[in-house]
Structure 1
C-alpha cells in the first residue's frame, strides 16, 4: 500500500476498472492507506468530472431499470463522499444532472458524514440556477426538517452562505424557514451564514423577513450573528446587528466558541473590541468549559494592544493560559503566532 503522504498518480482517476478510484486529484490530503474511506464508484466519478458519455454508458449498461437505479443511487463512501447526483450538482454539470434525474436519481439522498447535504442543498450552495430549477421540478424540499449532522445546511442556509441572493429570495418566496435552526456541529442559521460570509445584501433580505438576530449558536463550533461579524472584523455588520438589538453578551458554543468580545479579540479587531466594550460587553466574560476570558483570547493570538484595551476596561484575571477558541482563527494562525512575553502586556 502506498504511503498516505505520497503524491497522487496521474492515472488514479482514469482507472475505474476496479469500480472505485481514490479521490486524490481534487484534494491530495484525502489520499489514505484506507482505500475504502475516500473512493468513488465509476458513475460517481464520471458525474463528478462531467463525463456525460461515460455517465450514459454506465447507466445503459445495467441489465434492467432496477439495476440502473441501484447504480445511480449508490451511496457515498466515507466522510466526504457524494452520490453521483450530488457530485454533478457540486460542479455544475447540468447535462449530467438531467441524465441522472431521468435515470431515477434520488434527490433527497444524504451526502457523506461530514457534509450530509442532499443534491438540492448542494445546488443552493453552488448557486446554479438551472440545476436549482431542475431539482425543484423534480420535487426538492425547500424547507426540510432540521439538519442535524456535521456541517449540515438547509437549502436557504446553503444559499445564504454561498452569497446567492436570487436563490435565497426565491427560497423565501417558496416558504423556506428563515429561522431554521443550525445543525448541532459547525451549523449556521441562514442569517449567521450570511453574516459570516459578509453577504450584506442577503443579511438585509433575511432581516426584512424576520430572521432572528439572537438565534443561538450551534452547540459545537457555532457562532451567533454578532459573534460572526466580530470574528471577521465587519464593523458595518456589527453596527447593523447592534441596531437590531443583537445580544452583546450572548454565550458562545460549548466547543470552540466564545462571546462577541472573545471573537473580536481572537480575530485581532481592536476597533470592534472597543465598540463592544462601549456598548456594555462584559470585559470578564468567560467562554467554554475552561472559562476563558477575552484577555486570554487576545494574548494567545499575540495581540498585546487588545490585551491592554481590555485591561483598561476592567478586565482582570490571568493573561496567559488560554487557547485559540474559534476554528477559523486556529487555521489562520497555526504556526504563525509568536506570543509576546506576558510581563510586557501589563507593564
Structure 2
C-alpha cells in the first residue's frame, strides 16, 4: 500500500485495502514512510484525499530519522511540486486534524516547524497567510543540527517581506542560534551568499543584537559571517553599528572574523578588519597567516 501511495495509484490502493491492507502500517527502516507520508511526499492529491477518507493518521512522524510531522513535511521547500498542490494538501491535512504546531519533543531530534519549512525558500503569499492564520507559532524552534526559527530561516533565505511580517506578528528577532550550525536572524542574513542590505538594516533598526555570540558548533557572529563571505558593505555596516572585530569564534569549528577572511582569501576584507584593529586569539596574526598559506592565499598572508 505504501508503494501504491508513493506511485499515486489509487486503483491499486483500493484493491489492497479490500484485501485488508493497513492504511496506518508503520514505515519500514529508518527512511520508510507511512502510506499518507508517501502520498504527501510525492504530492499525489487524489491519493491523499483517498487515504484521509479512510482515516489515515495525519499526525504521524514522517520517518523514523526525521522528526517532522507529515504536515510539516508537506511544507518543506525541498519537495518540488506546484503551489496549488502544496496548498491543497496542506488544507486537506489541516482540515483532517493535523496539528499546525507539532510536539516540542520528538522521537527524533532533527526537525523544523511547518512555518520554518515554508519560509526557507520562495514563498507563496496565500499559503503563507493560511499557515499564519492557522495558528502557527512564529517562534517555534526546531531541533537538531541547523535548526531554525521561522524568522531565522526567512532571514537566511533573504526574504525581507516575510521577515517583516513575522516580526510584526511577534517573532523574536534575537532568538538564540541552535547549538549546532545555528544562526540568529542577523547572523543568517549576513552570511547569505547574496545578502540584502535592506534586510540587514531592518534587523539592526529593530534591535537585532550586533554581537550575539556564535553557536557552539559551526556558529558565527554576524561580522564573522560577513567576513567569511567577503561582504564588505555588510561588514562596514556592522562595524559602524558596533560589531566586535575580535569576537570569540564558535567553540567547535569556529573562526574569528580575521581568520575566516584570511582562510577564504578575502584580501580587501582582511585589510578592512586590520584597519579596525583585528588580531587573533594570541594578539597577533599567526593563525590568520597559517590559514591563508594553507589555502595558497599568499597575498593575504603578506598583509
Map of 1:295 onto structure 2: 289
Alignment-derived partner of residue 222 in structure 2: 225
Could you state the TM-score of these two structures normalised by the residue count of structure 1? 0.72
Q: Cα–Cα, structure 1 residues 147 and 169, in superposed 2: closer, same or farther, change >3 Å? A: same
Paired position in structure 2 for 1:308: 302
- Deviation, 1:274, is 1.1
2:237 is the alignment partner of 1:240: yes
Could you tell me which residue of structure 2 aligns to residue 154 of structure 1? 149
In structure 2, C-alpha distance between the alignment counterparts of 1:296 and 1:113, rounded to whole Å: 40
Does the Cα contact within 8 Å between 2:110 and 2:143 map onto a contact in 1? Answer: no
Alignment match, 1:76: 62
**Aligned: 1:128 with 2:124:** yes
Match of 2:139 in 1: 143
Match of 2:102? 109
SS at match of 1:205: helix
| 8 Å contact kept, 2:6–2:35 | no
Number of residues of Structure 1 aligned to a counterpart in Structure 2: 275
Equivalent residue, structure 1, for 2:51: 58
**How large is the Cα RMSD of the aligned pairs?**
2.8
Is residue 6–residue 42 contact of structure 2 (8 Å, CA) maintained in 1? no
1:82, 1:112 within 8 Å by CA — same for their partners in 2? no
Distance change >3 Å, CA 73–CA 265, structure 1 → 2: same
Moved more, 182-191 or 40-49: 40-49
Of 269, 272, 276, which residue of structure 2 is paired with 1:275? 272
Are positions 1:88 and 2:74 aligned together? yes
- Residue in 2 aligned with 1:164? 159
Report the TM-score when normalising by structure 2.
0.82
Bigger relative contact order, structure 1 or 2, given CA contacts below 8 A and separation 6+? 2
Which runs of structure 2 are paired with 1:171-182 in the superposition (5 Å)? Answer: 171-182=166-177
Contact preservation (8 Å) 2:113, 2:142: no
Give, in angstroms, the shift of residue 113 of structure 1.
4.7
Cα deviation, residue 55, structure 1 = 0.5
- What SS does the aligned partner of 2:75 have? helix
